[in-house]
Structure 1
Amino acid sequence: MEVYADVRAPLLHLANYRVEAFAERLDRHATEPGFELVLGYDGLVPVGYAYGNTVDARDRYWNRMAEPLPDGFTDTPALAVKEIGVRTPWRGTGTARRIHDDLLADRTEDRVTLMVNPLAGDGRVRQLYETWGYQAFNAQPPTPDSPRLTAMIRSRVL
């Protein structure tokens, strides 16, 4: 939880970013099919993390989209990256990409999807994901504790 708290420090006052809210999400996600977490290190120092799980046609992940999905879109399971975070000193160094790629390395899903706050980093986070091959395909309506998120997808292997 220390890495998460450090990564999200400026946002911890918001309900969706509280450490307790993250712990609850992580506990729930850890029970879902295909869960995997990667923790990145610089020597002995944990510097960031990424985790996700497999989502298939029945998963609520797809049901929360703002717009209907095309026929057959969910027929093939995908890896849903639920969160990526890197401590400030390691941002802009390629660390997030290496952690992301480690998460994808041994997966069997053909596609990978994630959600991004389009305003995060003044839009730079979404732009970063686009350089990684992701394309926006939908959105998730806001909840009381979360902003409207952009849903992005790409092939697992580029």
Structure 2
Amino acid sequence: MALPATSLPIRRHGADGTIALLDTLTDIWAHAHTGHDDVAEAGFTPETLRRQITAHTRHDGFALIVASSTDQAVGFGYGFRCTPAYWYGEQLLPAITSDARDTDSLAGICELAVRPDWQGQGVGSRLHAALLEALDTEWVSLLVMPGNGPARRLYDRLGYRYAGPYRPGPDGPELDLLLLRTPSAPSAP
């Protein structure tokens, strides 16, 4: 019998544990994106995810959070601490609010994926909360496909705000860059 979403174990993994979980992570991601033709058209595939995760494990402050039921991993999220110049890029950096542009406490969330049978049950919110705790920064930012309504509704509910369009390279797709001042961050003066 599967555990209710509110009691799923959530576990943090470092870089070494993440590499060992690549097959599981790509399987979750592929299931979460089934039927999202825009994702494949934008060039995002399980193989590009594997390369992306492998490269990102080399960043300081890397954290992977995995939620599991009794018989399988059902969702994951990962990110790492970074500088605003690295995350936003030189083109978008001037358009970012000065608090988020000038911070030395920023993390980028690179993926948050939940198997379809577990979506809408709070797993994504729990993964996000555990990821914020693990990353422990004043600001977090992430990218979302403009047409991904369910993801965007989750991020809006979590308090993210649209920061601008982001294009990962000259031929890359245009994504929505979202920004969140974390709940534990000190209030702006």
Q: Which runs of 5+ in 2 are unaligned?
A: 1-25, 185-189
In our comparison, the structure showing a higher alpha carbon Rg is 2
Higher mean C-alpha deviation, range 103-112 or range 87-96: 103-112
What RMSD in Å do the two structures reach over aligned CA positions?
2.4
In the alignment, the residues of structure 1 paired with residue 57 and residue 154 of structure 2 have an alpha-carbon distance, to the nearest angstrom, of 26
Partner of 1:39: 66
1:11-30 equivalent positions in 2, closer than 5 A: 11=37, 13-14=40-41, 16-30=43-57
CA distance in 1, matches of 2:169, 2:136: 31
CA distance in 2 between partners of 1:144 and 1:56 (Å): 21
Aligned-residue sequence identity (percent) comes to 25
Following superposition of structure 1 onto structure 2, how do residues 111-130 of structure 1 map, counting pairs within 5 Å? 111-120=139-148, 123-130=149-156
Q: Summarize the Cα distance change of 1:118–1:85 in structure 2 as closer, same or farther, 3 Å threshold.
A: same
CA apart distance, 1:65: 4.9
Residue aligning to 1:6:
31
Looking at secondary structure, tell me which structure has more helix per residue.
Answer: 2
The within-5 A match list for 1:3-152 is 3-10=28-35, 11=37, 13-14=40-41, 16-59=43-86, 61-63=87-89, 65-66=91-92, 68-69=94-95, 70-71=97-98, 73-76=100-103, 77-120=105-148, 123-141=149-167, 143=169, 146-152=172-178
Task: Decide whether aligned partners of structure 1 residues 109 and 56 sit closer, same or farther in structure 2, where only a CA change above 3 A counts.
Answer: same
Q: TM-score, normalised by structure 1?
A: 0.84
